[in-house]
């Protein structure tokens, strides 16, 4: 079932974003507002090949000074994907930091992600801490999101990833978290119609209350106000994105990781998780008509790592092998403890959005506006 279109189809003449983003606008030349935002609000303040490195120097000094007498001076979450793997390499090998690498096992690791994490950890000789999430609670929450018929099925995973990371940092008095978020591959974000805020704990709890069956007794949580306000201003936690300060070409980074550590690439961004591969490559485009490759490819087009022609050609093909999709459908159903007929019924059910459940969108919007007043790079968030 595809998303209902309420306007004539149009695709940007500069990137590959289109009217599957319901709020997208175009100028007289066919350029979309995402492209204009990048050139107006991101590019003028982002120069990893120039003064970005100089801007990071005082940040690096603070991190090292704060952790001088500790075994670790920062915390880095790793998934086995390119961004987080390269960040660990950058932090240890090129910046001389002492990172504690943190991994959350939510039950969906692919073998390639496990192998990649092991190769990075062993190759760099850094310490790894793994937090294992209670599978019964994780499964129950994910099934609840399937029953809720919302697009953002990855919210239970995403929430537990960042909540575990932030909670661990504060508990262990680690003052700096380094993340792999970056403009180079993520300058265009998914519209809220596609992927809602995983940090909206009110929404997560409402969906679980309506569709869950067991208490979430141990599932780690941290809403947006806790990690953006309380942890930052009362606990002194700082979140830094080093990849925005240094040259970061994804293809070159993956090649470097492969040559140095035997790291292995995967089909698309985030496909190191088997659930995310199924969710992004099969469920989201087939049920809702949303293809996250459009945001990923458009980011690479704007940062000159991919041509628009290559992106359009890629989008004509399935996100990954159709036979693997069918296997993933059966695997996901079995792992969630439901049969494939029930999963198909959910697939065919009435589509809903985050607006159909309790949410903190009003407060989040106010917080976003306040944040942008003090932030030079006003990336579109909608």
Determine the longest span between alpha carbons in the chain, in angstroms.
61
CA–CA separation, 294 vs 190, rounded Å?
Answer: 9
Instruction: Give the chain's domains with CATH numbers.
Output: 48-293+309-373 (3.40.50.620)
The whole-number pLDDT of residue 368 equals 65
The answer to whether 187 and 301 are in contact (CB under 8 A) is: no
CA–CA separation, 31 vs 227, rounded Å?
Answer: 35
- Say what the pTM is: 0.91
Place of tokens 């903190």: 360
CA–CA separation, 312 vs 18, rounded Å?
Answer: 12
Cα 193 to chain centroid distance, Å, stands at 16
Q: Which helix (H) or strand (E) holds 188?
A: none
The whole-number pLDDT of residue 4 equals 46
CA–CA separation, 380 vs 382, rounded Å?
Answer: 6
With a CB cutoff of 8 Å and minimum separation 6, the contacts of 50 are none
Which ranges of the chain have pLDDT less than 50? 1-4, 377
Going by C-alpha positions, the residue among 272, 309, 280 that lies closest to residue 120 is 272
Place of tokens 């596609």: 194
Bridge partners for 103 per DSSP? 130
The whole-number pLDDT of residue 362 equals 86
Q: Residue 131 half-sphere exposure, CB side, CA atoms within 13 Å? A: 22
Going by C-alpha positions, the residue among 115, 81, 95 that lies closest to residue 272 is 81
| Token output for 154 | 């990855």
Q: Which residues of 151-171 are buried (b: 16+ CB within 10 A; e: fewer)?
A: bbbbbbbbbbbbbbbbbbbbe
Sheet holding 238-240, edge to edge: 127-132, 99-105, 74-77, 176-178, 238-240
Neighbours of 25 (CB within 10 A): 12
Question: How many residues make up the chain in this entry?
Answer: 382
Q: What share of the chain is helix, strand, coil (3-state, %, to 5)?
A: 50, 10, 40
Helix axes 155-171, 201-211, angle to 10 degrees: 130
The answer to whether 235 and 222 are in contact (CB under 8 A) is: no
CA–CA separation, 45 vs 377, rounded Å?
Answer: 7
Cα 309 to chain centroid distance, Å, stands at 25
With a CB cutoff of 8 Å and minimum separation 6, the contacts of 269 are 81, 82, 185, 292, 296
Question: Over the stretch 88-134, which tens digit does the pLDDT of each residue have?
Answer: 999 999 999 999 999 999 999 888 999 999 999 999 999 999 999 99
CA–CA separation, 199 vs 201, rounded Å?
Answer: 6
């Amino acid at each position: 079932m595809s998303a209902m279109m309420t306007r004539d189809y149009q695709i940007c003449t500069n990137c590959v974003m289109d009217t599957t983003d319901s709020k997208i606008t175009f100028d007289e030349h066919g350029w979309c507002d995402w492209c204009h935002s990048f050139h107006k609000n991101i590019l003028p303040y982002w120069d990893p090949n120039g003064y970005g490195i100089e801007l990071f120097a005082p940040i690096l000094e603070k991190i090292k000074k704060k952790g001088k007498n500790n075994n670790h001076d920062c915390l880095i979450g790793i998934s086995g994907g390119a961004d987080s793997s390269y960040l660990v390499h950058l932090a240890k090998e090129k910046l001389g930091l002492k990172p504690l690498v943190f991994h959350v096992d939510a039950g969906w690791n692919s073998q390639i992600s496990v192998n990649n994490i092991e190769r990075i950890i062993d190759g760099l000789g850094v310490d790894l801490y793994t937090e294992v999430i209670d599978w019964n609670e994780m499964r129950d929450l994910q099934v609840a999101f399937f029953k809720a018929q919302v697009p953002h099925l990855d919210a239970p995973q995403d929430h537990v990833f960042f909540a575990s990371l932030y909670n661990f940092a504060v508990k262990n008095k680690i003052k700096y978290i380094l993340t792999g978020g970056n403009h180079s591959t993520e300058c265009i974000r998914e519209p809220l119609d596609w992927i809602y805020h995983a940090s909206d704990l009110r929404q997560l709890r409402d969906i679980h209350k309506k569709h869950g069956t067991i208490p979430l007794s141990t599932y780690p949580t941290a809403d947006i106000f806790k990690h953006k306000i309380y942890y930052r201003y009362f606990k002194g936690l700082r979140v830094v994105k080093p990849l925005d300060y240094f040259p970061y070409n994804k293809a070159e980074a993956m090649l470097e990781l492969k040559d140095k550590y035997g790291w292995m690439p995967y089909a698309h961004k985030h496909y190191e998780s088997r659930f995310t591969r199924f969710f992004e490559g099969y469920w989201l485009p087939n049920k809702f008509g949303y293809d996250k490759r459009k945001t990923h490819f458009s980011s690479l087009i704007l940062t000159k790592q991919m041509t628009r022609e290559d992106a359009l050609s890629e989008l004509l093909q399935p996100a990954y092998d159709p036979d693997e999709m069918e296997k993933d459908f059966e695997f996901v159903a079995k792992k969630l403890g439901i049969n494939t007929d029930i999963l198909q019924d959910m697939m065919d059910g009435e589509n809903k959005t985050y607006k159909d459940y309790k949410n903190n969108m009003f407060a989040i919007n106010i917080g976003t506006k306040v944040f942008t007043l003090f932030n030079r790079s006003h990336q579109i968030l909608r």
